[in-house]
Amino acid sequence: MERVSDIRCAVGESPTWSAAESAFYWTDIPAKRVWRLDLSSGATRFWTLDEMAGCVATRAGGGLIAGMETGVFNLDLGDGPAAVARKLATPAVGLGEGMRFNDGRCDRQGRFVAGTMFMDMSANRQVGKLFSYDTARGISAPLVEGLLTQNGTAFSADGRTMYLSDSHPLRRLVWAFDYDIADGVPSNQRVFADLTKEVGRPDGAAVDADGCYWVAGNDGGCLLRFTPDGKLDRRLEVPMKKPSMCSFGGKDLDTMIVTSIPSGKPEDAEWGGAVLLLRPGVKGLAETPFVG
């Protein structure tokens, strides 16, 4: 395991690999920053944002697409200290006062799929929704509703299974859906993994080349790997108490990056909020950039 510089995020989230740049990107949500790591040189830098970005994904041709406080944005990253943000869409419902986008990524067809949450988790408001965005059709009506803390969005290799978690302490579930790759609509929601029976809350996730679902066990200090039939087959301990999301990258997609959130506990003082690189012994799947 290797720590990425001395970076300490307030809420590190949404790591994603840019194969075109050989670089990882991720967001520090409350700090309103997007970070970049050049994997070959180890160089890091960040861009500031005008509002919080819960999730980012790469765009074909460069730059990022992001789910933020007021909608979905294009982010152009230049030589200056700030990203140039251009709003693409705002959901008709789902981004009221106290809301923002949280977790998201592109499906295998290059649509941006992301969800919203009420930021004060203690309020226990089931108002989170999942949306899809592409340039041809704009932003969708809600695809999934009634979420407390939307998280864990990921897709199988063939794109026909969508995974989604709710990481709120009152829920702690991962669902699987049938996913129509033609119209980008999920159906047949069923419980895939019940983390009330495991350690940690199911935060951000990734799918590996074996079709297994890796999810960050927030509050549990671990990453959990579930087989396609929902069986837990591996638990990987990490030094931070609150890992928030994992993602595969590197030339051979055999490097995993893990972001985290400080827990505030003394035993987490060194690693809380750190960004970690590790080799889990399996390869990931290439992320599809946003093609709109």
Phi, psi torsion values for 52, nearest 5 degrees = -70, 140
DSSP type of residue 121: G
Q: Is 203 a catalytic residue?
A: yes
CA pair distance 127, 104, nearest whole angstrom: 17
Residues of 238-272 as b/e, b for ≥16 C-beta within 10 angstroms? bbbbbbbbbbbbbeebbbbbbbbbbbeeeebeebb
Would you put residue 94 in left (φ > 0), alpha (ψ -120 to 50) or beta?
left
Which strands sit side by side in the sheet containing 12-18, from one edge to the other? Answer: 12-18, 23-28, 33-38, 44-48
Question: Given the structure tokens 């789910």, which residue do they identify?
Answer: 67
The catalytic residue among 203, 208, 219, 268 is 203
CA pair distance 232, 2, nearest whole angstrom: 25
CA pair distance 103, 247, nearest whole angstrom: 13
CA pair distance 224, 222, nearest whole angstrom: 6
Count the residues in the chain.
Answer: 292
Query: Could you give the residue numbers annotated as active site?
Result: 203
